[in-house]
Amino acid sequence: MVKKLKQILLIIVALLLITGCRDQQDGEEYVNTSSDTSTSFTQLDSESEIKAKNLQELVAVGLEKRLNREENSEDITIDVPYDEGSSIFATYYINQEPVTEVGMIQAVKRENEYILQNIDLSPIDKQAPFWLAKFAGTTMDGKSNFRVNYGYINDPSINEIRIRYSNVTMHGMSMDDRKTFLDVTTDEKMIETSVQGIDGDNNLVYKYD
């Protein structure tokens, strides 16, 4: 009887040792799997960037991905591009007569591609001599905030937009043959106090205070 009990005990101990070894191996495999998962997450984040070869195509893709709006790139006009250094801004509108929607895009250029940062599109007020919109955000490098004043000219007599800022600075933009205007500032002390539309005789046509 004693010999049989010893044999049984030895068998139980051997089984416990084998089970413990298997549990340890399973644990090592789990650690390796979690390492692979973090790598695939990084790749997914990179693939989520919205890219295009030019701003016109970037607007079309951005409208679809961000605003659920489908437009052909051929129907989009980039009107006023502006390179701030770390970011590129531009106004755009959908080619239709009369123009009823105007937007602004912020992107960064990396090698031969443009990468989308921000995009918006708004219906314009056709009753006012010119329509004004505002946008604020952070530059791509994260070093400064920016403010954007942009808009659309309804009254053809307006050939200049003047923006006065709280630090007594004034920015003047000649309209020439453009339909939109765009002004970008990164100085946080420059808060706009008025946006004015001026005609060819230097008369005030309309302003936003």
Instruction: Give pLDDT, residue 187.
Output: 80
Average pLDDT over every residue of 129-139: 91
Q: Is the pLDDT of residue 88 over 60?
A: yes
Asked whether the whole model's pTM tops 0.85, one would answer no
Task: Report in angstroms the alpha-carbon separations of 73 from 99, 149, 180.
Answer: 16, 24, 18
37-74: pLDDT as tens digits: 222 222 224 458 999 999 999 999 999 999 999 999 99
98-113: pLDDT as tens digits: 899 999 999 999 888 9
155-182: pLDDT as tens digits: 999 999 999 998 778 999 999 889 999 9
Q: Is the pLDDT of residue 189 over 80?
A: no
